[in-house]
Copies of this chain bind each other. A is one copy, B any other.
Amino acid sequence: MSNLRINPDRLLHDFNALAQIGSTGDGGVHRPALSENHLAARRWLRQRILDSGLEFQQDAAGNHSAILRSPNPSARTLLLGSHLDSVPHGGRYDGALGVLAALEVVRTIRDANLELPVHLEAIDFTDEEGTLVGLLGSRALTGALTPEELANPRGGSQALRDGLSRAGLADPLRAVRAPESLAGFLEVHIEQGNRLNAGVADIGIVTALVGIGSFQLAFTGRADHAGTTPMHARRDAGLAAAEMIVRAQGLAVRAFPDCVINFGQAQFSPGAYNIVPERAELALEFRAPSQPELDALETALLDLAQTTAASLDISLAYTKQACVAPAPCAPQVQQAFAAACDDLGLIHIPLLSGAGHDTQALAAVCPAGMIFIPSTGGSHNPNEFAEWEACVNGANVLLGAVLKLEGEIGSMIYQS
């Protein structure tokens, strides 16, 4: 069946329809997890699944699935998918393409009347972007999500409660599945950097995903009148936060060249022109390709925050947010992707993923892997873009990999 191909027109129709939901009018979409826009996208997906004649399923974490059953009722499940949620004012490819490609692959296999030794499930995971809790849906499914994280979500407890309530979800932890029920997980995603452009390759086969740590840092000084308090007599929490951002930049560039850091949020309070900030909160995220580097970077950043705060007579508190361990991709899955590319005449190269993806959560419990297609315009913004031909290539490589796993490459996955 190496000549089987997905239906590009059906995929394009879906892609364009989905990009309208939560559209920001500039090519982007605003679909933060469990927002009204996101839930509208999911209602649309549910209808598309039902229209396709596939079995629809929603689990306790809100994950939406289209299922094609194997003739063997006790078969394990091969998951294909990604996520429909976006960062605030994000792009229309990130996540969405992966879900639609997965659905298209399942439809193509169903249309071809192929019988597989696994149940095939196209899945849309909740909150991959971590608006509320990082990788909420995929980590709920694998059992990595904890009650502690749900009690102290990085997006705030109220926002999580509101989101779950809007979606009608009571307890995401109940979405957990037995690892032995899972045959594997495959994902298609835009590359988001510039590593595949200028004809470098058609497909990037991910070898591993970086680990991610995140903290909320809270600097506390003293609120003072900004006119009557001399500069030297202040305990300015905002100054400490600013020093931290500047110094951490230097630390990362100098001592951790393979890592990245980001301060995505800053908030000074009480927040008036004429009051020296008493409190300054920063959202810190950092990524490293291996666990030792991730641990060393975390230690160095927290030490720096302490030193910076102390030098300005400021106190520091920090709250650890969801973190993700670095994850290698399964060799068999990488081989299946490579073989599928070869069949299609597509040039492929191995790549490290600097971003977290649902693959990261799944890799902890089953053979998992993902491919990147070339994209431009950065990512997490409305300008992210992929040529349509590249999107179709990605979906066909996903289809090809599913079929390759039936043969020798996948024997460990499908039969074990």
Q: Given B261, B268, B273, which contacts A214 in the complex, CB threshold below 8 Å? A: B273
- Tell me whether A112 is interfacial, beta carbon within 8 Å: no
Q: What are the 5 tightest A-B residue pairs by CB atom distance, in nearest-first order?
A: A226-B262, A242-B245, A227-B355, A225-B379, A192-B228
A409 interfacial by beta-carbon distance below 8 Å? no
15 contacts between A and B (CB under 8 A): A192-B228, A193-B230, A225-B380, A226-B262, A226-B285, A238-B266, A239-B249, A241-B242, A242-B242, A264-B271, A264-B275, A266-B267, A266-B268, A273-B285, A274-B380
Contact A283 B273 (CB under 8 A): yes
* Known pairs A230-B260, A239-B246, A253-B232; A273 contacts B130 (CB<8 A): yes
User: Is A252's CB within 8 Å of the partner chain B?
Assistant: yes
Among residues of B, the one whose C-beta sits closest to the C-beta of A286 is B226
A27 within 8 A of B: no
**Any chain B CB within 8 A of the CB of A149?**
no
User: Interface on A for B, CB 8 Å cutoff?
Assistant: 87-89, 129-131, 154, 191-193, 210, 212, 214, 222-232, 238-239, 241-246, 249, 252-253, 260-268, 270-278, 280, 283-285, 287, 321, 353-356, 378-381
- A262 to B276 alpha-carbon distance, docked (Å): 6
Query: With A and B bound together, what is the CA distance between A192 and B249 in angstroms?
Result: 37
The residue from B193, B225, B239, B265 contacting A271, defined by CB atoms under 8 A apart: B265
| Other contacts beyond A228-B355, A266-B280: 7, CB < 8 A | A87-B274, A130-B274, A212-B227, A225-B355, A226-B285, A227-B260, A272-B283
Given A231-B252, A246-B242, do A277 and B264 touch, yes or no (CB 8 Å)?
yes
- The distance in angstroms between the C-alpha atoms of A89 and B275, with both chains bound, is 11
Q: Which residues of B contact A243 (CB under 8 A)?
A: 242, 246
Q: Are A278 and B87 also in contact (CB < 8 A) when A238-B245, A273-B130 are?
A: no
- Residue of B at shortest CB range from A287? B227
Residues of B within 8 A of A253 (CB): 231-232
Q: How far is the CA of A95 from the CA of B57 in the complex (A)?
A: 63
CA gap between A2 and B278 in the complex, in Å: 45
Rounded to whole Å, the gap between the CB of A5 and the closest CB of chain B is 29
Given A224-B378, A355-B228, do A262 and B274 touch, yes or no (CB 8 Å)?
Answer: yes
- Cross-chain contact B260 with A264 (CB below 8 angstroms): no
Chain B residues within an 8 Å CB radius of A131? 272
**A380, B268: Cβ atoms under 8 Å?**
no
Contacts of A214 in B (CB 8 A): 273
Contacts of A353 in B (CB 8 A): 227-228
Q: How far is the CB of A104 from chain B (nearest CB, A)?
A: 25
Known contacts being A276-B264, A356-B227, is A270 close to B87, with CB within 8 Å?
yes
Least CB distance, A198 to chain B, in whole angstroms: 15
